[in-house]
Structure 1
Amino acid sequence: MKRDEQELASSFGRAATAYAAHRPDYAQAAVRWILDTAPGARVLDLGAGTGKLTATIRAAGGAVTAVEPDPAMLAELRRELPDVPALAGGAESIPLPDGSVDAVLAGNAMHWFDMGTAGPEIARVLAPGGVVAGLWNVVDDRIDWVAGLARVSGSAAIGPRDTPDSWRVEAAGIALPGELFTAAEQATFEHGQPRTADSLVATLGTRAGMLVMPADERQAALDRIRAFLASRPETADGEFTLPMLTCVLRARRADGPR
């Protein structure tokens, strides 16, 4: 991982409380689509953050264990979901036994993995026929005001992987080792997050690119977003739904049933 990518990947802990408060969960239909193909209900949420995907997996019926490398994010997860097993660790060194889970899911995290090391680790902890999947929440820029928001926000707030078209390009570059996993499938599921102008500004402020910005640039970007939301009838007053999609990249351990 390049130095600037390492800085982005390690930026979330400084905003763990805001991340827990403002980041969206994931479409349950997306999680069910993944788990319906798994050989059992034992699920690892890898790079679990504050537990946004963990909670969705549990609601969908998965027996979930969370693994997260950042201590601040892990502390928030344990506070939010005290009954979920939550372990310190990362994709490159998973603190679980061989063949101990039926599915490995990663929410807005797989693009940070060093897949040359993480791929064999994921395959190791998966049972035969086990499923690996990455999930990404993106804004639905097919909606006019959302497309305007993306333009105004800039790439630090709504950037690569944050819109459907850019996600597809990014997902195609995630190389699951072909000798370990079947060819990946892609799918998208409609989703949404109730927001106000203030809470949407706070949400975009938790993006990795925003977190590493100099303070004055970050404030200017947030002010620009706030002004845009105030100018649109869809978002100027009260609560609205931010249209989103949960995008999924899914594969199976290669030595299992097809």
Structure 2
Amino acid sequence: MGGAGFEDHFDRNAERYERARPPYPPALWRALRELGALTPGARALDIGAGTGQATAPLVEAGLAVTAVEPGPALAARLATRVPGATVVNARAEDIALDAGAFDLVTAATAVHWFDLEVLLPRLHAALVPGGLLVVWRNVYGDPEAEVTPFRRGIQAIVDRRQAPPRPGPGELEVDRWRERLTAGGLFLAERTVNLRWSIDLDSARVRDLFTTFSDWTPEEADEAAAVADRLGGTVTEHYATWLIALRRAELAD
């Protein structure tokens, strides 16, 4: 997981991050297969990899994966969890990338932490002609889903918080993210996918999950768990996940 200023937060909570962050939905992996992104033997670069929520399925699909994660504790857990991946403990903006070294680059719930002006030209060079950059992001609390008692309780906590702003467009501003990713002409948007899904969480997992959010305090995470406890101990959380697939543009000499 990238992001100067937030790396320490994720790394301090590496154990919670590994056990609490939910897997990406099956529909996302179906979309990647339809794009031809999961070809066995293909070389993939997974940036901002965390503890491997995307890395592990990529390896399981038969890809040769290099996973880049700046947090040392997260990277260590990633290496243990996904021994089939090559794990690099560094910022994606800083690593050496050979020209044409990868067929696929993935950034899973991490794009908002990167310096895209630095990173995108390096990814363009590192991809083969016609290579894919696929960016996706989980949004916790789908605004189009039914407003549940749990979400009302979480909103009450949010309404009295003073959270620091996150970099980049808002988490649901998919059009603005697509514009940023294509602005320099290095990548062409090929497909955008919007998914909605849900998962049941017990109060312990709610506490762990909200603790991993960079703008939530441990006390606020305890409050979120208390909301779940008041509702019987297990709640349904609704998610939105968007995916943008971009093709490497061929530039004139």
Structure 1 residues 99 and 150 mapped into 2: Cα distance closer, same or farther (>3 Å)?
farther
Matched, 1:144 2:144: no
> More deviation in 13-22 or 145-154?
145-154
Count of aligned pairs: 238
Match in the other structure for 1:110: 111
Unaligned runs of 5+ in 1: none
Match in the other structure for 1:101: 102
Match in the other structure for 2:88: 87
2:176 corresponds to which letter in structure 1?
A: A
Distance 2:175 2:9 in 1: 22
SS in 2 for 1:140: coil
SS in 1 for 2:5: helix
Deviation of 1:170 after TM superposition, in Å, equals: 6.3
Matched, 1:72 2:73: yes
> More deviation in 55-64 or 68-77?
55-64
Matched, 1:205 2:200: no
Contact 2:46 2:55 in 1 (8 A): yes
Deviation of 1:42 after TM superposition, in Å, equals: 2.1
Match in the other structure for 1:30: 28
Matched, 1:186 2:186: no
Structure 1 residues 227 and 251 mapped into 2: Cα distance closer, same or farther (>3 Å)?
same
Deviation of 1:126 after TM superposition, in Å, equals: 0.9
Structure 1 residues 204 and 64 mapped into 2: Cα distance closer, same or farther (>3 Å)?
same
Distance 2:4 2:171 in 1: 20
Distance 1:95 1:170 in 2: 29
Match in the other structure for 1:196: 202
Match in the other structure for 1:244: 239
Match in the other structure for 2:19: 21
2:249 alignment partner, one of 240, 247, 254: 254
2:173 alignment partner, one of 169, 172, 184: 169
SS in 2 for 1:154: helix
> More deviation in 140-149 or 194-203?
140-149
Distance 1:148 1:77 in 2: 34
Match in the other structure for 1:227: 226
Contact 2:97 2:122 in 1 (8 A): no
Deviation of 1:22 after TM superposition, in Å, equals: 0.8
Q: In the TM superposition, what whole-angstrom CA distance separates every residue of 1:193-234 from its partner, at most 9, and x where no partner exists?
A: 442012112111111112xx4xxxx31x234323322333xx
Deviation of 1:143 after TM superposition, in Å, equals: 2.5
Structure 1 residues 170 and 36 mapped into 2: Cα distance closer, same or farther (>3 Å)?
closer
Deviation of 1:48 after TM superposition, in Å, equals: 0.5
Percent of residue pairs bearing the same amino acid type: 29
Distance 1:73 1:84 in 2: 14
Contact 1:26 1:53 in 2 (8 A): yes
SS in 2 for 1:143: coil
Deviation of 1:240 after TM superposition, in Å, equals: 4.8
Deviation of 1:80 after TM superposition, in Å, equals: 1.0
Q: In the TM superposition, what whole-angstrom CA distance separates every residue of 1:5-54 from its partner, at most 9, and x where no partner exists?
A: 73224421111111111111212322342353357532211111111111
1:172 corresponds to which letter in structure 2?
A: R
2:224 corresponds to which letter in structure 1?
A: I
What CA RMSD, in Å, does the superposition of the two structures yield over aligned residues? Answer: 3.0
1:231 corresponds to which letter in structure 2?
A: R
Distance 2:238 2:8 in 1: 28
Structure 1 residues 248 and 85 mapped into 2: Cα distance closer, same or farther (>3 Å)?
same
Superposition TM-score, scaled by structure 2 size:
0.81
Unaligned runs of 5+ in 2: none
